[in-house]
Each structure stands twice: as C-alpha cells, then as structure tokens.
C-alpha cells in the first residue's frame, strides 16, 4: 500500500497542532512497513532545521518533500498522483487539497480528508465570506471523500456543513513520551496559539475574580506564538495590566522539545479555555505527564471528567475560576489521584503505537471498495 499524506505544515514546523499529528501518523505507518510519502510546504521550516527545499528526502517517517510554496506542492501531488493507492488530505482551505480533490473527483478516486476543526461555527467566523464558496465546492465534489473527524463533536460539525457524507471518527494518536518525575510548581499553564479563538481573556479574568486563587500564590504562564495575531497579544497584556495581575501572569513565546515537556510536567494544571477546539494535542501531552486539564466544554474533552483526569466546563471566567479553585483546594491525596488518573487515561486511550492498526484497516477498506 502506497500512502500519500499532504498538508501545509509538518514537523519540525510548529505552526498548528496538525504539524505534529501528521508526523506521528506518518511515522507510525512507516513503522508498520507501509510506504508513506508526505508532500508539504516549507512554511515554518527554519535554517536551523537543515532541511532541503523542493527535494525528496528519506526520513524516519517516509519519503518527504518540503516544497517552496503551495503551487509547487500541488505540482508534486499531480506529478506522482498515479503511484498512490491512498491519498489523505488535510485542511479544507489549503488550496492544494482543494485542487487534488477536484482532480480526484473527475478521476473517481476516493480520498480521505481531515478538516482539522475547520467546520466549527466558531472557526468559520474568521474570513467567512472566503470560506463559504469553498465549502459549497467541496460539498459538490464530496461523493468520493471519506471525511475524518477526531470526535463526535467534529462529526456533527461536518454533517452540518456537508450533509450525509461518509465520515470516520478517529482521535489523534501520539507517540507518548516517558513521564518525567520532577517537582510540581504552583503554576497553571495555557499552551497553544495566541489567537482570539482560544478565549485567553476569559482565563485571565478568571484569575482576577477569585481571591482564593490569588491568596494561594499560584501563577499563570501563557505560552505560545502570536505570529499574525500580535494585536490580540497586546490586548491580553493590557488586560493583565488593567487587572493588576502583572506579577501573577507571565507571557512566554513558543517553546518545544524537552523545554516544552518539562513545562507541562511541572505545571499544576493545563487550562484550555477555547471557544472551539478540534482536538487539542496539548491536552494529551499534558495528561501524558500526569498533569490534569481544565478544558472548555466547547472542546471534545468531556472524557476528562469520565476518567477523573480534570474538568470540562463552560469557558466563562466564573466557571473557569470555580474549576481552578476545585483543584487548588483538593488535598494532596486527591490531587495526586487526579495526576495518576490523567496519566492512566492518556496511556490507555491515545498511544499511536497501540492504535495505528485502526487507520490501516480504514485504508484497506478503501482499497477493497474499489
């Protein structure tokens, strides 16, 4: 089986969670001796990464080409199209994916397509006038598309846009790192894009309205890139200043690798207050270090409460503050149980090594249906 994965960003680029998710996916397939090719753009690739552009290279997750732009990426898809048994697209608004889908529609070739949360109502609020015509086009050519959702929430969102299309529901799986045994600090953590869709202002206000949080001397670290949304970051900093929280809340630019793992492991809790979230790989990364999570109920993480690994709450400041206080006031035994539950939940549900067979079966079923 010859599988093509195509997307705009891929590890070591850190633009969006999908860049890592697709890398893990490709590597897990390659580890099962499947032939994997990945065609991506060079967006997010820096000189320090030492990766050649517009040249096919063999890496530990297959044959990969980082193209100089989107047009070059689509050219590579088209040039090699006939040798792929399976084509798996990512993102609805990445135009090489759209062009590949149109070409495949006329070739009557079935595709797998991962929208990556782009069917969410909140996500569609941004540049809506550009996105709606694209969605209508995709709906018209969706006969041969198997859409991939990562949760029941996303399945509903895809059906709301495209109707009764074919959907396979599979969560993002990750290669799980070893759990670090380091002291836990009195710090809460937000980690992700600094973008209005993340509702970070609600988290900041949650800290301001609870004397209990402030009296326990907990801090909040907000970590992530604001590239393209610098004005939102400035608004957040002004809010912190206005609420007199400068000594409590710290902004840190994007981190990765071991530094990121340590930050997740040493934090008391990760908080994801988003207006919407397709999945949230950082939740798994936190749980894998035994760090409990407070996630907005606009995210697909209701299982946090089912497995007693955190809280799934409305993302208004008061409900976020209540969840923070519940964790702060838990005694040591209950808090340590929460951390152990978080780790066990992650290991049992999200290991890509244990679950990549699910994707292999999906791809095989496509080939059998031809």
Domain 187-349: assigned CATH number: 3.40.50.2000
Write out pLDDT tens, residues 288-317. Answer: 999 999 999 999 999 999 999 999 999 999
Tell me the average pLDDT across 180-199: 95
pLDDT of residue 344: 96
DSSP state of 244: T
Categorise residue 117: left if φ over 0, alpha if ψ from -120 to 50, beta otherwise: left
Q: What is the mean pLDDT of the chain?
A: 94
% of the chain beyond a pLDDT of 70:
100
CB-CB contact of 295 with 324 (8 Å) = no
List, for residues 46-100, the tens digit of each pLDDT value.
Answer: 888 899 999 999 998 999 999 999 999 999 999 999 999 999 999 999 999 999 9
Q: pLDDT band at residue 370, thresholds of 50, 70 and 90?
A: low
CA pair distance 192, 195, nearest whole angstrom: 9
pLDDT of residue 19: 87
Condensed to tens digits (0 to 9), the pLDDT of residues 6-38 reads: 999 998 888 877 888 899 999 999 999 999 999
| Buried b or exposed e, range 296-313, using 16+ CB within 10 angstroms | bebbbbebbeeebbbbbb
Residue 296 tokens read as: 């907005």
Sequential DSSP letters for 74-138:
HHHHHHHGGG-SEEEEE-SS-HHHHHHHHHHHHHT--EEEE-TTTTSHHHHTTTHHHHHHHHHHH
From the candidate CATH numbers 3.40.50.170, 3.40.50.620, 3.40.50.2000, 3.40.50.720, the one assigned to the domain spanning 2-175+352-368: 3.40.50.2000
The model scores a pTM over 0.75: yes
Specify whether the CB–CB gap between 89 and 112 falls below 8 A: yes
List the one residue out of 272, 190, 199 whose CA is nearest residue 224.
190
Task: Please report the pLDDT score of residue 340 as a whole number.
Answer: 97
Q: Is the pLDDT of residue 198 over 80?
A: yes
Q: Where in the chain is the domain with CATH 3.40.50.2000?
A: 2-175+352-368, 187-349
């Amino acid at each position: 089986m010859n599988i093509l994965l195509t997307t705009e960003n891929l590890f070591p680029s850190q633009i969006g969670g999908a860049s890592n998710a697709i890398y893990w996916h490709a590597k897990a397939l390659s580890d099962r001796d499947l032939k994997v090719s990945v065609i991506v753009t060079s967006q997010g690739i820096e000189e320090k990464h030492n990766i050649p552009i517009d040249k096919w290279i063999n890496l530990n997750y297959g044959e990969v080409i980082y193209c100089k732009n989107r047009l070059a990426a689509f050219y590579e898809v088209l040039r090699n199209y006939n040798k792929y048994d399976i084509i798996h697209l990512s993102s609805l608004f990445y135009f090489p994916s759209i062009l590949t889908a149109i070409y495949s529609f006329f070739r009557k070739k079935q595709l797998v397509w991962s929208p990556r949360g782009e069917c969410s109502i909140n996500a569609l609020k941004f540049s809506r006038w550009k996105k709606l015509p694209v969605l209508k086009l995709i709906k018209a050519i969706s006969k041969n598309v198997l859409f991939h959702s990562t949760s029941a929430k996303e399945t509903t969102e895809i059906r709301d846009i495209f109707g009764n299309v074919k959907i396979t529901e599979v969560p993002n799986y990750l290669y799980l790192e070893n759990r670090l045994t380091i002291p836990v600090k009195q710090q809460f953590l937000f980690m992700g894009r600094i973008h209005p869709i993340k509702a970070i202002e609600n988290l900041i206000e949650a800290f301001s309205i609870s004397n209990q949080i402030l009296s326990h001397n907990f801090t909040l670290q907000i970590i992530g890139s604001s590239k393209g949304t610098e004005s939102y970051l400035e608004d957040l900093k002004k809010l912190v200043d206005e609420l007199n929280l400068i000594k409590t809340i710290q902004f840190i630019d994007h981190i990765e690798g071991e530094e990121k793992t340590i930050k997740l492991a040493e934090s008391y809790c990760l908080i994801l207050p988003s207006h919407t979230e397709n999945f949230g790989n950082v939740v798994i990364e936190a749980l894998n270090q035994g760090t409990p999570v407070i996630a907005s109920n606009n995210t697909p993480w209701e299982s946090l409460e089912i497995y007693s690994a955190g809280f799934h709450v409305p993302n208004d400041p008061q409900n976020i503050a209540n969840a923070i206080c519940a964790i702060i006031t838990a005694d040591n035994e209950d808090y340590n149980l929460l951390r152990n539950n978080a780790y066990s939940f992650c290991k049992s549900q999200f290991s890509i090594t244990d679950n990549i067979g699910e994707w292999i079966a999906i791809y095989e079923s496509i080939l059998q249906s031809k």
